[in-house]
């Protein structure tokens, strides 16, 4: 029967009690703030985002030939990564000296995309702003030439005013000169349009980096709020370390503007593979309104005094996770969303974790049925149908088809492109060490397993 068992373990991971500890202490039995001397969480350092990771909210171009200086509060990109001049307009000796300026902050929605528009050859995309003039009203045309009337303009797209707190935004920009051997710095995206459109001069490209923009928040070690493990033989150490699998960076209490509500936030589904435990994990992370201010440590008292309930709210991060020896991720995602809807309908998201206790019998009915009455597909029964409000279907892969290992070649090609995918496969076939990093945990497992499948096929 164990071979036909589909799932092994379910848990709800969240934030429990709130006793302050130090970062180098052992994992406690209850949640607690993670603090250290370099990044203490106090009323004076409530926003733990480094300055260089603050989102870019404004762009400007200055023309040094007209004596323009950077606007107040702006940083100017004077040089390239290796020290060359970052003049955007270097087509001729008599051209205008154009430099890009950036401003960081949180007073307006961040910039999410940057582009280059060549007028006459393409049209500006929807919701895109054009930088057409400098702060003093001079033309901001990057490539000024007497032989062409087509303007080369830098464009950007700004996030909506009700943008979610945890979103990708531009946090850094640089200029590179490829003809002098420069390449985009690590994690930077190059805009593949040469700013120098003349026949002479170097090849100049604009690069930008995106990072997740987090709100002001407190970082906590998470704990198991509730678990369902009806089968023997599962390591207690494995169960106790479940919070680390779901929240390797810890859970958070975050401060959101009142205009951002839970209705604007979509739960995040992600997967992972624990090879040493021979377990696949599938989890859904979501936020709940945090109202237990009295349970916060004394070190945040100043923060609470400054918290305007009309303008800001606190939310905590929670996760439900299911473990299995088989990567039927689509079915697991559907089942976890059913459990999430049960939690949502029980008003769990507007109270503390203890309110889940009243809903445990109903949730356990679903868990009991899924754990005990839903077998794993087998050659004799390759399709398993489970009837819920939204039916689930588990299908055994065809014998000659791709293995059921969680690989997603679609995600691999969509995120890396053809050239990078082929390069990655070459390194995998050469048995090189590969480190794959992503800001989106929902696609990481599928990409890694696809590369791993190619490597195994070569054995």
Q: Which residues of the chain are in CATH 2.100.10.50 domains?
A: 51-213
CA distance 80 to 68: 20
Question: How many angstroms from the chain centroid is the CA of residue 369?
Answer: 33
Judge contact between 319 and 309, C-beta under 8 A.
no
What is the number of residues in the chain? 459
CA distances, 3 to each of 125, 212, 281, 370 (Å): 54, 41, 18, 15
Helix axes 329-345, 360-372, angle to 10 degrees: 160
SS3 at position 455: helix
CATH of domain 2-48+215-395: 3.30.450.200
CATH 2.100.10.50 for the 51-213 domain, yes or no: yes
Helix H segments across 111-231?
A: none
Q: Which residues of the chain are in CATH 3.30.450.200 domains?
A: 2-48+215-395
Return the C-alpha torsion angle 225, 230, 234, 235, nearest 10.
Answer: 40
Judge contact between 253 and 33, C-beta under 8 A.
no
Q: What tokens were used for 409?
A: 């070649």
CA distances, 179 to each of 17, 53, 189, 202, 207 (Å): 57, 29, 18, 6, 15
CA distance 306 to 428: 52
**For each of the chain's 459 residues, which pLDDT tens digit applies?**
455 788 888 999 988 654 433 333 323 334 555 443 223 222 222 344 455 568 999 999 999 989 999 999 999 999 999 999 999 987 655 678 899 999 998 888 899 999 999 887 787 777 899 999 999 999 998 876 555 577 889 999 998 876 666 788 999 999 999 989 999 998 899 999 988 877 777 899 999 999 888 777 777 888 888 888 888 767 777 778 888 888 887 888 888 877 777 777 788 888 887 766 678 889 999 988 887 766 666 555 444 555 555 567 888 889 999 999 888 888 898 999 999 988 877 654 444 444 454 557 788 888 988 988 888 887 777 788 888 877 788 887 665 444 555 677 888 888 888 888 898 888 888 888 888 877 676 777 778 888 887 877 776
Judge contact between 334 and 374, C-beta under 8 A.
no
DSSP state for residue 127 in the 8-state scheme: T
Of 140, 135, 137, nearest in space to 154 by CA: 140
Enumerate residues 6+ apart whose C-beta is below 8 A from 12: 224, 225, 226, 227, 318, 319, 320, 321, 356
């Amino acid at each position: 029967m164990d071979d036909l068992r589909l799932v092994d373990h379910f848990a709800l991971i969240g934030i429990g009690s709130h006793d302050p500890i130090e970062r180098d202490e052992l994992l406690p039995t209850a949640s607690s703030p993670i603090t250290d001397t370099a990044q203490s969480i106090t009323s004076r350092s409530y926003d733990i985002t480094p300055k260089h990771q603050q989102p870019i909210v404004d762009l400007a171009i200055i023309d040094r030939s007209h004596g323009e200086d950077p606007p107040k509060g702006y940083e100017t990109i004077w040089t390239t990564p290796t020290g060359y001049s970052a003049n955007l307009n270097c087509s001729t000796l008599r051209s205008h000296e154009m430099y890009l300026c950036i401003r960081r902050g949180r007073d307006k929605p961040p910039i999410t995309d940057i582009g280059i528009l060549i007028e006459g050859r393409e049209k500006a995309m929807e919701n895109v702003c054009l930088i057409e003039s400098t702060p003093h009203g001079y033309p901001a045309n990057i490539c000024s030439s007497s032989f062409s009337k087509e303007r080369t303009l830098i464009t950007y797209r700004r996030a909506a005013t009700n943008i979610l707190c945890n979103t990708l935004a531009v946090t850094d920009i640089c200029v590179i000169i490829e003809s002098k051997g420069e390449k985009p710095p690590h994690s930077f995206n190059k805009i593949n349009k040469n700013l120098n459109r003349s026949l002479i001069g170097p090849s100049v490209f604009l690069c930008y980096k995106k990072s997740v923009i987090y709100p002001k928040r407190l970082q906590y070690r998470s704990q198991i709020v509730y678990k369902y493990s009806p089968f023997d033989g599962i390591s207690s150490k494995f169960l106790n370390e479940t919070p680390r699998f779901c929240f390797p960076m810890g859970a958070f209490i975050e401060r959101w503007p009142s205009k951002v509500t839970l209705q604007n936030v979509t739960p995040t589904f992600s997967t992972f593979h624990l090879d040493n435990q021979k377990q696949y994990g599938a989890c859904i992370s979501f936020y709940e309104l945090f109202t237990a201010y009295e349970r916060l440590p004394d070190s945040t008292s100043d923060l609470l005094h400054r918290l305007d309930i009309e303008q800001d709210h606190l939310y905590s991060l929670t996760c439900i996770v299911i473990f299995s020896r088989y990567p039927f991720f689509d079915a697991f995602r559907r089942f976890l969303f059913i459990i999430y809807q049960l939690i949502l309908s029980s008003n769990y998201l507007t109270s503390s974790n203890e309110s889940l206790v009243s809903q445990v019998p109903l949730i356990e009915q679903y868990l009991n049925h899924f754990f005990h009455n839903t077998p794993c597909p087998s050659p004799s029964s390759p399709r398993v149908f489970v009837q819920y409000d939204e039916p689930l279907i588990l299908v055994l892969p065809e014998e000659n088809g791709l293995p059921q290992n969680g690989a997603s070649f679609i995600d691999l090609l969509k995120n890396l492109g053809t050239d990078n995918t082929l390069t990655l496969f070459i390194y995998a076939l050469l048995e090189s060490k590969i480190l794959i990093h992503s800001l989106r945990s929902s696609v990481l497992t599928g990409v890694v397993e696809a590369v791993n499948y190619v490597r195994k096929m070569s054995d």
